[in-house]
Amino acid sequence: MTFTPLTGVIPPVCTPLTPDREVDVPSLLRLVDHLVDGGVQGLFVLGSTSEAAYLTDAQRRLVVESVAAHVGGQLPVLAGAST
């Protein structure tokens, strides 16, 4: 397996929530599009923006799977993991 070093701007991505505290996937993907259109070299979901600590495992999975599928391999997606 070959690894390419990460370089450039890889911002933490906030996770938008609905008023019912569910992941707002359409808003999340609009944010991702905005960042990608701005020229980032990767995305860091569930990272240092702190809301990940308050999401369920299912919500975290939804965030990672939604963003990874949306960018379709065009740039790296890093996912934070914590206990």
Q: Which of 41, 76, 46 is nearest to 61 (CA)?
A: 46
- Residue 43 is inside which H or E element, if any? strand 43-45
Predicted confidence (pLDDT) per residue in 12-57, tens digit: 999 999 999 999 999 999 999 999 999 999 999 998 777 888 899 9
Residue 4 lies in a domain: no
| Total domains, the chain | 1
Does the residue 14 lie in any domain?
A: no
* 42 assigned to some structural domain: yes
**pLDDT reading at 2 higher than 80:** no
pLDDT 10s digits, 59-78:
999 999 999 999 999 999 99
Domain that holds residue 35: 25-79
- Asked if 43 contacts 75 with a C-beta cutoff of 8 angstroms, the reply is yes
Strand order in the sheet with 43-45: 12-13, 43-45, 77-79
* pTM of structure: 0.91
